Amino acid sequence: MTRCRRRAVAVLCVAAAGALTGCGDGPAPVARVVVCWGTEKPAPSGGQVVYRFVQDGEQVATASGSVDTTFAVDVPAGKATTVLVDGEVFGEAGVESDSPPLDEDNRVPGATMLLGPGCPDPAPDVSDPG
């Protein structure tokens, strides 16, 4: 790896770490959203499901995979999250709150489950990472 490329990687890592930790204030509060399209309804265009997690019109996370895959995604806490598939609303999670309830790990306890018909039951640690 060239010296210039190593610097670019280091800067990217530092920038990402700063964004995730809130510039030294500890980890930003997060809420967990669990999604699965399901095998009992038609697959979205292309056969793969691409989830977009949006808060205040801005994408905060993505996940993609087959219709029977369950994803657990952490999103910033304290804002309502809209989950989109192919530009259509798949579900809503969370509420607007200046002070959401947080556990000792700076997480909203539990998870919001958005599971379509035919999805496998998520593992216990997926819905409650604590």
How do residues 63-106 score in pLDDT, each as one tens digit? 999 999 999 999 999 999 999 998 899 999 988 888 899 999 99
Of residues 104, 42, 92, 97, the one with CA closest to residue 67 = 42
Fold classified for 27-127 = Immunoglobulin-like (2.60.40)
The 10s digit of each residue's pLDDT in 45-73 is 778 999 999 999 999 999 999 999 999 99
The DSSP call for residue 107 is B
The pTM of this model reads: 0.76
Q: Two tokens at 11?
A: 């800067």
Give the length of the chain: 130
Domain ranges of the chain: 27-127
Q: Are 18 and 33 in contact (CB under 8 A)?
A: no
